Amino acid sequence: QVQLVESGGGLVQPGGSLRLSCAASGLAFSSYAMGWFRQAPGKDREFVAGISWKGARTSYADSVKGRFTISRDNAKNTVYLQMNRLKPEDTAVYYCAADRNYDPTRWPIGLDYWGQGTQITVSS
């Protein structure tokens, strides 16, 4: 079955950096666009960043543009999210997800597969 497993979460001070990884199995990874999403307590899940099948196209939420970078390694079936200059408002559970179509304007609606999430807490 399809599995998306996130790792790299944790506690970080404001201004710090973290790198999330999402390892995929059970699917033809290079045939899927990938996205990162987050959900803070009491809020809806929101789009953070997306990347097309071979990485030629990327998209970011305005709130993370210039601070976060999404990338993928199709040989390792893994997508990454490099997060720099973290802020307390970045605190949330972060999820990766897969979609046969690259459509950040629709996300997080209609993605095919989701990971279980990893907690990011930005606090001093």
- Residue the block writes with tokens 């399809």: 2
Q: Which amino acid is at 56?
A: A
Beta bridge partners of 95: 37
- DSSP letter (8 states) at residue 101: S
Confidence at residue 1, expressed as pLDDT on a 0 to 100 scale:
94
Q: Per-residue pLDDT tens for 22-73?
A: 999 999 999 999 999 999 999 999 999 999 999 999 999 999 999 999 999 9
SS3 label, residue 98: strand
Q: State the chain's mean pLDDT as an integer.
A: 97
Confidence of residue 6 (pLDDT cuts 50, 70, 90): very high
C-beta neighbour count of 65 within 10 angstroms: 10
Q: How far apart are CA 82 and CA 1, in angstroms?
A: 27
Q: Could you give the CA distance from residue 87 to residue 110 in angstroms, rounded to a whole number?
A: 29
